[in-house]
A and B are shown apart, each in its own frame.
Chain A
Amino acid sequence: MPNQPAIDVQNISKRFGKQVQALEDVSFQVQPGELFGLIGPDGAGKTALMRILTTLLLADEGQARVNGWDVRKDYKLIRRNVGYMPGRFSLYQDLSVEENLQFFATIFGAAIEENYGLIRDIYSQLEPFRTRKAGKLSGGMKQKLALSCALIHKPSVLFLDEPTTGVDAVSRHEFWEMLQRLRQKGITILVSTPYMDEAGLCERVALIQKGRILSIDTPANIVGSFDKPLLAIRTDNMYRLINDLRQFESTHSAYPFGDYVHLALDRPIWPEAVHAFLAAREHTGIEIKAATVTIEDSFMELMTRS
């Protein structure tokens, strides 16, 4: 069927108990072959959504389809055809690298040789450690093995729930490079992450917070939708700087961004005006420049609006 979305989520809601609204009226579509990011902090509902799509949980309301199959009725078909890497890498610690791969290949009814091409450049890095127990691998290695296991049956859609959490920056970087290559092989990928800086590596992202979607778009468009003038400011005293900037009359918001403070303004003003304001408050080492808007700026703006 042409133009059928790989993942189609319509008005999904899910509650846990009476108190926790994990997902509220969530809708989005992922096109075949797309690398789609689900970006949001812990507790935003990312894992619940992943589990609903992988047929592990039932939604209270709404409908979802994967490859056109209904997640409730056609769960067996979906389970046969998708790959899933849960938040905690789901490996048997007391089995070797090879044994893990063999096990997951067989339970998905696949042969390693058949689909080895798909995982070659990931798994080849693990080959020297073939006989090592999974529990003895570093975080980055575990992550690669878990990804190999999720891919070995050549799934058409791949669900990755926070694959980069708890992994160091180097491994994170390598992991995203692997995802880019997989995308070129035509696999649809839905990946969730709490790291805003990873949003830029996806084709499209959904920003999610407290079970609601704040925005769905390409990273560039999300950044572009930030419509306030934004300055990056630093002085010698960060703590006083934040507090003082919040007293400035044209301030919309002031948040620390690393060693700078991003100051969003209600109306365009000359940086000199801000400089004078800070100098009057006895700041030293004042540096003011135009800031590059990041996904985080947009995310915070959307959070405060909703």
Chain B
Amino acid sequence: MKQLLIFIRKEAYHIFRDKRTLLILLGMPMVQVLLFGFAITNEINNARIAILDLSKGEMSRDIIQRMAASGYFEIGENLHSLSDIERHFRQGKTKLVAVFPPQLEEKLLRNTPVQIQLVADATDPNTATTLINYASAIIGRYMQEQNQGKALPLAITTEVKMLYNPRLKSVYMFVPGVITIILMLMSAMMTSIAITREKELGTMEVLLVSPLRPSTIVIGKVIPYILLALTMAAIVLMLGAFVFGMPIRGSLLLLIAECVLFVITSLSLGILISTRTETQQVAMLISLMALMLPTILLSGFIFPIESMPKVLQLLSNIIPAKWFIIIIKNVMLRGTGFDFIWKETLILLGMALFFIAASIRNFKIRLA
């Protein structure tokens, strides 16, 4: 026990005396979150749209006004005929055209279904979908208000319902993903070089000749980094909350506990890499390159797992990040408790134990 304590203390000295690395470790998550949060976002503000109002009634004017007031759209040109639409898109002047049919009010009062046509430039499908969603939501809400207190409901043309993220804020999607990726990569990287560094320095020789047990070395290497990784997690969470207005709807305690678990899983994976490599360079490459792509692509961070081919869906199950993203989204956005995420938690715990056991087993008690 005393050996473990002094080992941890020594590791802590290494960490805190290397000020530059420490600064990078703590600064990088900040930069990454801000980059992801601001630059790489699906949100659209002030998109230019055009209107073809064939009805010229009170209702269409109301709707157009609401669209303009939403902040998402900037109303550009008023078109005069259907043939204008195509020309307009070709000139690249607009992303979306809203077409209001003639006699909107009259048709509605006669209970004839009407359709407001939303035409979007789908060369950029993500933007198109988002714009269509915004527009339909505005129209839908308008209709609902009009229907209130009326005996005969007016025909509703759109029904869009956005759960959990009604304003389609993409930051809500990104922050959990970014937290996950950062914790995973940074933790794995930190510990992956921790053992190889001693191999390169030659100090490993003396550690091996000492009565230290492999388990003491492995565990002694993981523990001090937990604190560091948690600091990172806190920085990222606070940025999410204060800069991007990310809600934490569930229990904060539960969130922290899950973070600890995930950090331990990642650190143990790093240690496992460390036991199998000889130089810091190789360890770093493996932990960055070999972990980064699968973690980003298969964790559900950017691409929904449900729409992947079956093989990749199966493969995604071995990515620790996938399970953590599920957990963190549940706790932060849905505010669910432990009873909803115990399965994912158990899977992560199993992975952590496996990595640690494999590291201790893999730890070479001799040099070659």
Contact = CB atoms under 8 A, between A and B. Distances in A.
A90 B3 contact: no
Interface of B is mostly: helix
Given A55-B366, A56-B366, A107 B13 contact: no
A108 B208 contact: no
Nearest to A94: B17
A92 B203 contact: yes
Interface residues of B, number: 24
A93 B2 CA distance: 22
A57 B209 contact: no
B10 A87 contact: no
Contact of B211 (A58, A79, A99): A79
A86 B202 contact: yes
A86 B211 contact: no
B365 interface: yes
A75 B365 contact: yes
B10 A99 contact: yes
Contacts of A82: 209
A27 B7 CA distance: 38
A20 to B, nearest CB: 12
Nearest to B365: A75
A102 B212 CA distance: 15
A107 B203 contact: no
Contact of B202 (A16, A87, A102): A87
Contacts of A107: 3, 6-7, 207, 210-212
Given A80-B211, A90-B201, A109-B211, A103 B10 contact: yes
B205 A57 contact: no
B237 to A, nearest CB: 31
Given A56-B209, A79-B210, A108-B210, A94 B201 contact: no
B151 interface: no
Interface in A2-60: 16, 51, 54-58
A58 B206 contact: no
A106 interface: yes
A88 interface: yes
A93 B367 CA distance: 22
A28 B2 CA distance: 39
A240 interface: no
A299 interface: no
A260 interface: no
Interface of A: 16, 51, 54-58, 75-76, 79-80, 82, 84, 86-95, 99, 102-104, 106-109, 149-150
Q: Which 6 A-B pairs have the closest CB atoms?
A: A88-B202, A106-B6, A90-B206, A86-B205, A56-B367, A84-B209
